Amino acid sequence: MRAILEELVELGYKTIAIDQSFDHSKREAGKRGTEMFPEPHSIEHLRKEFEDKLRILHRITILYVDVNVSHAMSVSMNLRRFNLIAGQPKTDAALTHCCTSFSGDIITFDSVAGSRLLVNRKAYQIAVRRGMFFEIKYAPAIADSSNRKDMIKVAQNYCTKGKSKNIIFSSGAIHEFQLRGPYDVANLAFIFGLSEDQGKNAIDRFCRQLFLRAESRRLGKTIIRRRSHCLAFSAAAVVGVAVASNNVGHTSNMTLAPLLTSLRRSVSAAKGRHTLLLLLQPTPALLFSPHASQHAIGCGST
């Protein structure tokens, strides 16, 4: 593992996720509501060693055959400790459920077992609207030609049914020699039927959106709002809202100074571009409370 991480640093990667697989179809019979998913592997020693070089995340890939996995995921405490959750369906019914109802972030497939499952157009569109991402692993395609054929078949299915929307590339590597740099991975987009822009988004933009969505799911309170243009917030308007919220919460104009400064800088930096406004507490009474500095408020361009 250490050799793979060192190679990733050399290739210029900054954020990675260590995958951990769990086969729900082979679970042991137990009482309803008991913990079913494993705990994340301990990687604290790796995080300390690569503290200034890599951001290492936990990821779990759940293999399942029926919709009973939804209840197990809803009551699991261990599952909340993972940064990313991927679903790997093993049947057509599980694939439809994964696109329409799965409480995760990524839809993946077993590149070694072959491409027996192909998504239909309706399920693909629902998954895109839900913010799910379809994963393509390039390391198995490098290691074996038969795996390469299966991956191209799946990628072409994504292109036909959903115009290759929300596609991300990951390595799936078990050896450092299977890793490739970001630009080399982006060039693989032509083999999988993606355009040049889609290939760049698959390793850059969509990965950032994936991490944002995953953190939103974990927190459970984040609201993402997409604006076609940035709104100009004036100091008088914000203070007016704060004064009006005095009837609901306790606040003062003095506590709004850091918030106003942050709003001015965010609006100025994002002027003329599409923006994402992230508010952990969407109500004005909570937003302009004396503890407003404890809530996450940010503005980033898309």
pLDDT score recorded for residue 236? 32
- Over residues 43-67, mean pLDDT: 92
Classify residue 52 as exposed, middle or buried by CB count within 10 Å of its CB (0-12, 13-18, 19+): exposed
Full-prediction pTM beyond 0.85?
A: no
Average pLDDT (242-255) is 39
> Pick the residue with more confidence: 163 or 25?
163
For the stretch 280-297, pLDDT in tens is 333 333 333 333 333 333
Report helix angle 235-244 to 257-269, nearest 10.
140
Q: Is 71 helix (H, G, I), strand (E, B) or coil?
A: helix
Contact 66, 18 (CB under 8 A): no
Q: Spell out the residues 6+ positions from residue 11 whose beta carbon is closer than 8 angstroms to its own.
A: 179, 180, 181, 182
Write the pLDDT tens digit of every residue in 165-195.
999 999 988 888 999 999 999 888 888 889 8
Token readout for 98 is: 């994964």
pLDDT at 10 over 90: yes
Q: How far apart are CA 105 and CA 83, in angstroms?
A: 10
Q: What are phi and psi of 31, to 5 degrees?
A: -70, 150
| The pLDDT value given to residue 286 | 33
Q: Contact 273/299 with Cβ under 8 angstroms?
A: no
- Given a contact cutoff of 8 angstroms between Cβ atoms, the answer to whether 99 and 117 are in contact is no
Whether residue 21 has pLDDT greater than 50:
yes
